[in-house]
């Protein structure tokens, strides 16, 4: 379940502004989701291949240029679908939890 949610969480982060991979890892860590580069980069590459993400090279004051990832229009559409699925799942779990209590 966590693996499937990681894609959604990354898309949520990139919805508002492009991010560098290390920034994504840091923001996920701040939200108590620990992700390592070995997990993140393959997922970013798959999302790029699927047309969900795009990237742009930006110069860095701390070394070589960095890849900043952002959502494509297809990515925004996919995120909308994930939002709907997430809300349906939350509603179902809430109803079940209330039924049991």
* Residue-level pLDDT at 100: 81
Please tell me the predicted confidence (pLDDT) of residue 62.
86
* Predicted model pTM: 0.87
Give the pLDDT of residue 2: 67
Residue 32 DSSP SS3: coil
pLDDT digits (tens, 9 = 90+) for 18-62: 999 999 999 999 999 999 999 999 999 999 999 999 999 999 888
Domains and CATH numbers, the chain: 2-95 (1.10.10.10)
* pLDDT at position 28: 96
* C-alpha atoms less than 13 angstroms from C-alpha of 38 in its C-beta half-sphere: 0
Angle formed at CA 44 by CA 41 and CA 49, multiple of 5 degrees: 125
């Amino acid at each position: 379940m966590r693996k499937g949610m990681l894609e959604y969480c990354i898309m949520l982060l990139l919805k508002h502004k492009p991010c560098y991979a290390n920034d994504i890892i840091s923001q996920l860590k701040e939200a108590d989701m620990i992700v390592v580069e070995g997990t993140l980069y393959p997922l970013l590459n798959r999302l790029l291949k699927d047309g969900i993400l795009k990237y742009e090279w930006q110069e860095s004051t701390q070394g070589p240029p960095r890849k900043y990832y952002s959502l494509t229009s297809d990515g925004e559409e996919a995120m909308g679908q994930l939002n709907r699925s997430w809300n349906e799942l939350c509603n179902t779990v809430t109803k079940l939890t209330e039924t049991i209590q």
